[in-house]
Structure 1
Amino acid sequence: MAPPSRPSGPRSPTSVLGRGLAAGAVGTAVLNAVTYADMAWRGRAASSAPEEVVEAAVHAAGREVPGSGAERRHRLTALGALSGTGAGLATGVLVSAARAAGLRFSAPVGAAVTGAVAMAAADLPMGALGVSDPRTWSRQEWVADAVPHLAFGAAAHATLRALEPAAQQRRRASAGLVLRSALLGVAAGSRSSLGLLAPALTSSASAGAKALAVLPVVGELVADKAPGTPARTSAQGLPARFVSATGGAAALAARDGANAVVPSVAAAAGAAGGAWGGLAWRRWASARVPDWQAALVEDGVAVGLAAVACLSGRRPARASTLDGPAPVGR
């Protein structure tokens, strides 16, 4: 018997990775071409920022680039170019994974978003390592940095769209899906685990998997009553609520075969409302009843909203063909 083949469908990890690497490679080639064209047009020298970032990163790790003199400079130049290529490929894979999760933008918006991600991948390390401070750049320097990355975004986004199978196309999100995503976001803003786990609990997963998914929800419901739990609007608590809300919205969109962009935005807005609204409720109610009672009311509202958001969007299971043909009505 032949060994089972690996999955290669439109959503398999290999296809997402392959399309992402292709998009990143095309985008990087276009970025380099635009950069060299600018150098030829203005007669400017190549930027030394990539080499400086590599050198600063190696130094921060407590190591040194081997060699001396020209040999060391050449090695830094090569490492700087390789780091840029790696960042471009990684950006392509990230955007490909986002598209596979249902985040689909129009061509202009997709080019801008992809270019912004690539630009952040290049500029944030410079600021973090002290190589350069983008806040001090002139307008001309910003344009010189933004235009090649916008070209990267346009090329990478176009490549992903060209390579994407027809079976992976998503339709526009319905108003009902957007509303359910917003409700799930409110629930996640109140109890962060509900954003990702409520869709899982209402999916076709096995009973064992659902039982495991219940544990984090129960754990959060208990931990919420502990006095040492960080505030939900703190730097520790708020990002997880947004991630959970948008991830849950993407899962709901995947059920409907819909684009996840608008549902994710609605879920993020709902998470903000749930976080600050829930905090306001607890402060108001705690002045009138014990805090644990106010927390239990909030638990019920959050679980109820998550149930409404996820249960109402489920499609009925198809009848099995193993039971024979359905009876013909008269």
Structure 2
Amino acid sequence: MNNNTSSFLRAAGLGAVAGMRTFLAPAIISHFYSRHKSQNIEGSAVGFVQTIPTSKVFKVLAAGELIGDKMPMAPNRTEAPGLIGRIVTGVFTGATIYKADSKNALLGGLIGGTAAAAATFGCFFLRTTLNKKTALPNFVTGACEDALAITLGAKLISSNR
């Protein structure tokens, strides 16, 4: 796989992770880049992602979301605040991946944000359909979605090495 394809797949895939869980994709890239610094990110607008404190904040936010998502009062992800948040973190994640790979961060952001929007709706409809057709409790399908998002994110960022 060439570097262009690899960058695209990581930006799109981690954008999709952001569509599943708003803070998981930033937590994954911050964890990675705080331990494997990129000279291309250093000193840029996304340079803060390479710090341990940022990594910790994103991890706490992601953990809170993983728990809160299963609560009955959790807001619908396709409503404006949730959708906007997922797209923003998808843009951030895609831009960071592209910047680290010496590519156009704007293009990476567009790819990540688009993937986040698509995954937000796709996973919402998949999960609600599964809940209706299988009578599985929401927390079970939510936990399965968590496992998918974590596995996908870890696999994509580890391909960065």
Give the TM-score range, shorter chain.
Answer: 0.7 to 0.9
Q: Does 1:226 align with 2:71?
A: yes
Tell me the amino acid that sits aligned with residue 10 of structure 2: R
Aligned pairs for 1:53-202 within 5 A: 174-202=4-32
Q: Pairwise CA RMSD of aligned residues?
A: 1.8
Counting aligned pairs with the same residue, the percent is 27
Shift of 1:185: 1.0
Question: Equivalent of 2:145, from 298, 301, 304?
Answer: 298
CA distance in 2, matches of 1:229, 1:190: 14
Shift of 1:230: 1.3
Shift of 1:190: 0.7
Shift of 1:209: 5.1
- The answer (yes or no) to whether the contact 1:194–1:244 under 8 Å persists in 2 is no
- The answer (yes or no) to whether the contact 2:19–2:115 under 8 Å persists in 1 is yes
- The answer (yes or no) to whether the contact 1:195–1:247 under 8 Å persists in 2 is no
Shift of 1:198: 1.6
Q: Does 1:213 align with 2:43?
A: no
- The answer (yes or no) to whether the contact 2:30–2:55 under 8 Å persists in 1 is yes
CA distance in 2, matches of 1:208, 1:231: 30
CA distance in 2, matches of 1:201, 1:269: 23
Greater share of helix residues, 1 or 2? 2
CA distance in 2, matches of 1:236, 1:215: 20
* Gaps in structure 1 of 5+ consecutive residues: 1-172, 315-330
Greater relative contact order structure (CA < 8 Å, 6+ sep)? 2
TM-score (norm 1): 0.41
TM-score (norm 2): 0.80
Aligned pairs for 1:227-306 within 5 A: 227-287=72-132, 288=134, 289-306=136-153
Shift of 1:194: 1.9
- The answer (yes or no) to whether the contact 1:285–1:291 under 8 Å persists in 2 is no
**1:201-259 CA-partner distances (Å, limit 9, x unpaired):** 11125666534431111000001011111111101110111110010111111221211
Q: How many residues align?
A: 142
Higher-Rg structure is 1
Tell me the amino acid that sits aligned with residue 137 of structure 2: P
CA distance in 2, matches of 1:280, 1:299: 15
- The answer (yes or no) to whether the contact 2:91–2:109 under 8 Å persists in 1 is yes
Q: Does 1:313 align with 2:160?
A: yes
The change in CA–CA distance for 1:236 and 1:208 in structure 2 (over 3 A counts) is closer
Give the secondary-structure state (helix, strand or coil) at the position aligned to 1:179. helix
CA distance in 1, matches of 2:81, 2:56: 27
CA distance in 2, matches of 1:264, 1:207: 23
CA distance in 2, matches of 1:313, 1:259: 17
- The answer (yes or no) to whether the contact 2:24–2:59 under 8 Å persists in 1 is no
The change in CA–CA distance for 1:194 and 1:283 in structure 2 (over 3 A counts) is same
- Runs of 4+ that moved beyond 4 A: 205-209
- The answer (yes or no) to whether the contact 1:233–1:275 under 8 Å persists in 2 is yes
Tell me the amino acid that sits aligned with residue 109 of structure 2: S
CA distance in 2, matches of 1:206, 1:244: 17
